[in-house]
Amino acid sequence: MSGKTVSAIADVEFGAQLPSFTPDTSIAATRRFGRHVGWNTPRFTDHEGARKEGLPGAIVPGVMSQGFLGAMIHRWAPDAEIVAIDTVFRAPVLVDRPHTITGVVTDVDEDAGTVEIDITVANEAGETRVFGTATARLSKD
Amino acid sequence: MILDLHTHSIKSDDGRAKVANYCQWIRARGVPIDGFVLTEHRQFDFASDYGELSRKHDLVILKGAEVETEYGHVLVFGVTEALYGEFDFASTRLPLERVVEHCDAHGAVAVPCHPGRPRVGMSAHLAEHGVPKGVRIVEIHNGGSRDGEDERAVAMAEELGYLGVGGSDSHIVSHIGRCATEFPAPVGSEGALVEALRAEEFRAIPKGESTAG
Amino acid sequence: MAEAAVDEDVLALRERFLGREFDEVTFVINGDRFAEYAKVCGETAPRFTDPAHPDFQAPPTFVSTLVGGRSMPPDFPNLGGMGMDAGKGVEWKAPVRAGAKLTGKSHLHDIYTKTGRSGRMVFLVTRMELRDENGVHVANADTRTVIRERIKK
C-alpha cells in the first residue's frame, strides 16, 4: 500500500497501512510554527530554554503533532474528510530528533463510508510518544 | 497458548479500541496470540459478553481489571462478584497488600504492571513503602514501555524473586500482542487463567520477540 | 467515557462544573495562518495550502490551535499543580474557510482521575464548541489537561 493514495471507501482494506512519513521536527520548524501559528515560547523553540524548564530539550507542540497525523491521512487519502481525530500525548516529541508517523486502518464501514485509523508518533527507539485514532470519511463511489 | 494479559478497550477512559476490531486485527494481521485479557482501568466489566466474538474469531477473550494502589497500577485476574465487593475498584489509592490479600482469599491473582515505570510502577515506590507482602508475579514486559522501563522491571523481578508476565497494554487496536505471556496448556476461562498463573509455569514474551510490532 | 473512576471531591467538581459554559470568544479565521500551519505540519493537499484553491479550507486539526479567553471556569478551584497538555481531540462538522467568523463557547466536558507518583493526576477535558456566523456548528475542539497534584480535601 505504501506510496499509493486512495479516493473511495471501496479502495480501503481492513489492516491497510498508510504510507508513513517523517515529519519535520527541526527547531526551524517549531520556530516557524511559533511565528505563524503560536506556541512561540522557549519550551518549543529553544533547547536551552526548554532545559531550564526541566525538559530534555525543546519539544514539539502537541497541536503540531496532531497536525502531522492529520497530514498523514490526507497524504494517503487526499480527498478524505477527517471527521474526528483524538490524540493522547503520552510523552514529549523532542525537537531535532527523528520521529515516524504511522497509521493503520482498524475499521471499515462501507455503509457509512468511513474508516477508523490508529495513528501514532514514535521516536527513533520505536517508543510511542503520541497515539490516537481518527475517523475519516471517503467517497462511496 | 499465548495470551496478551493486558489490554484496554473503549470501556477504559483512555482506551480507543473496540473489542471486535481487536479480534479482526489479530486474525487479519496474523498476530501470534491465541487470545487476550481486557483489563479495563479501575473497573470490572461484568456486563459485556464476548462469547460470540470469541467463537467467531476462535480467540480466547477474558476479563480482568487494572486497579490503582500506592505502589502504582496492578492487574487483577479472576475477578468475581465477591471480590468486587471487597474493595473499591474505582479508587485511586488502594493499599496493595490488602488487594493481594483479597485476591488470595477469593481465588484471584494480583500482578503489579509496568513496575519499571515512573509514577505508576511499583519500583518507583519501593524506597518509600518497602517491599510489599504477597506479590509473586509482576509484569516484566509491557508493550507501552519506554526509556528502560522493562529493563528496570526485569531487574526488580530478579532481585525480589518475582515471576514475570507480559502484556501489550494496548489502548489502540494495532498495539495488541506487542508483548504477551506463553502458557504450556490451553487457558479458556478466567478461572483457568488464575490456575495457570498460580502454577507458575509461564513465560513473558517481550516486544522484540513478537511479530506484532 | 465509560464508568470512569471518580473520587468524591471530583464528583462534586463534576456536578458543579460539567456542561457549564465559562468562556465565549470570537475568531476571525486567517487563511495565511492555517495555510502556514498546514505546510509546517506536512500537508500537501492544495485545498489546505493554496489560498487560490477553489476549496481552500483549514485542515480539521487547525481548530485545536484556537485558544479561548480562559481555559477554566473562573471559580474553578486551584488544584495545586501545573497543568500539562495530555491530548487534543477534534470533531469536524463543516469546513472552516478563510475569513470565517467563528464563535467558540467553552465548557468542561469531563473530569476524572488517575494515580501519580505524588498523588492523583486530575484530568480535565475542556470542550470548545465552534459555530459560524449562521450558527452552523462547524467543530468541537477538546483539550485534555492533566494536573499532577493531589486535590486538597
Instruction: Find the mean pLDDT for residues A110-121.
Output: 96
Architecture per CATH, C8-29+60-147: Roll (3.10)
Q: State the pLDDT at residue B91.
A: 84
d(CA B111, CA B157): 12
Q: What is the mean pLDDT of residues A95-122?
A: 96
DSSP output for B65-94: EEEEETTEEEEEES--HHHHTTS-TT-S-B
Decide if pLDDT at A31 tops 80: yes
Residue A46: partners with Cβ closer than 8 Å, 6 or more residues away: A27, A58
Closest chain B CA to residue C114: B92
Tell whether B20 lies on the interface with C, counting CB pairs under 8 A: no
3-class DSSP assignment, residue C141 = strand
Q: Cβ(B12)–Cβ(B40) under 8 Å?
A: yes
pLDDT tens string C78-137:
887 778 888 999 999 999 999 999 999 999 999 988 765 456 778 899 999 999 999 999
Spatial separation of the C-alpha atoms in residues C31 and C58, rounded to whole Å = 8
Cα–Cα dist B202/B139, whole Å: 12
3-class SS of residue B202: coil
Q: Do the Cβ atoms of B203 and B54 come closer than 8 Å?
A: no
Query: Residue B10: its chain C contacts at CB < 8 A?
Result: 2
Shortest distance between the Cα of B98 and any Cα of chain A, in A, equals 30
Backbone φ, ψ for residue B188 (5° rounding): -115, 0
Of all helices (H) and strands (E), which one includes residue B128? helix B126-129
ipTM of the complex as predicted: 0.94
pLDDT of C153 reads 41
DSSP alpha helix (H) spans, chain C? 8-17, 31-41, 46-49
Inform me whether the pLDDT recorded for A130 exceeds 60.
yes
**Predicted pLDDT of residue C140:** 98
Domain formed by A16-137, architecture: Roll (3.10)
Helices A62-76 and A27-36: crossing angle, nearest 10°?
100
Average pLDDT value for chain A: 94
Do the strands A99-109 and A114-123 form a parallel or antiparallel pair, or are they unpaired? Answer: antiparallel
Which helix (DSSP H) or strand (DSSP E) does residue B31 occupy? Answer: none
Amino acid B135: pLDDT: 98
How near does any CA of chain A get to the CA of B17, in Å? 9
pLDDT confidence band for A1 (50 / 70 / 90): very low
SS3 assignment, position B21: helix
Note whether C117 contacts B: Cβ–Cβ < 8 A.
yes
- Break chain C into its structural domains and give their ranges: 8-29+60-147
What does the alpha-carbon distance between residue C120 and residue B92 come to, in Å, rounded to a whole number? 7
Task: Give the domain extent around B104.
Answer: 2-209
Interface with A, mutate which of C30, C39, C41 (most A CBs under 10 A)? C41
Taking the C-alpha atoms of residue B95 and residue B103, their distance in angstroms, rounded to an integer, is 12
Query: Which residue is listed with cell 473562573?
Result: C74
Residue A12, pLDDT > 60, answer yes
Burial of B211 from C-beta contacts in 10 A (0-12 / 13-18 / 19+): exposed
Q: What is the pLDDT along chain B (213 residues), one digit of tens a residue?
A: 999 999 999 998 888 999 999 999 999 999 999 999 999 999 999 999 999 999 999 999 999 999 999 999 999 999 999 999 999 998 888 999 999 999 999 999 999 999 999 888 999 999 999 999 999 999 999 999 987 999 999 999 999 999 999 999 999 999 999 999 999 999 999 999 999 999 999 999 999 785 555
Beta strands in chain B (DSSP E): 2-7, 35-41, 60-69, 72-77, 109-112, 137-142, 163-167, 180-182, 203-205
Chain C: partners with 3+ C-beta pairs within 8 Å: A, B
Residue A74 clears pLDDT 90, i.e. is over it: yes
Lowest mean pLDDT among A6-10, C8-12, C19-23: C8-12
Note whether B65 and B75 are within 8 A (CB).
Answer: yes
d(CA B30, CA B169): 19
CA dihedral A77, A78, A83, A88 (to 10 degrees): 70
pLDDT of residue C68: 82
The sheet with strand B60-69 has its strands ordered as B109-112, B72-77, B60-69, B35-41, B2-7, B180-182, B203-205
Query: C93-125 in b/e burial notation, b at 16+ Cβ within 10 A?
Result: bebbebebebbbebbbbbbbbbbbeebbbbbbb
How far apart (Å, rounded) are the C-alpha atoms in residues A89 and C123? 13
| Residue C4: pLDDT band with limits 50, 70, 90 | very low
Hey, are the CB atoms on C2 and B119 less than 8 Å from each other? no
- Could you report the per-residue pLDDT of C21-59, keeping only the tens digit for each? 999 999 999 999 999 999 999 999 999 999 999 999 999
pLDDT beyond 80 at A86: yes
pLDDT at residue C9, as a whole number: 84
Q: Per-residue pLDDT averaged across A31-41, rounded?
A: 97
| Count of CB atoms situated within 10 Å of the CB of C70 | 13
Q: Which residues of B touch C125 (CB under 8 A)?
A: none
Q: Tell me the CATH number at B171.
A: 3.20.20.140
Angle at the Cα of B9 from the Cα atoms of B27 and A109, rounded to 5 degrees = 60
Q: Which residues of A touch C143 (CB under 8 A)?
A: none
Give the per-residue pLDDT at B92: 80
According to the model, what pLDDT value does residue C118 have?
Answer: 54
DSSP C96-111: --TT-EEEEEEEEEEE
Overall domain count for chain B: 1
**CA–centroid distance for A45 within its chain:** 19
B-chain CB neighbours of A15 within 8 Å are 25, 28-29
Residue C1, pLDDT score: 34
Percentage of chain A exceeding pLDDT 70: 98
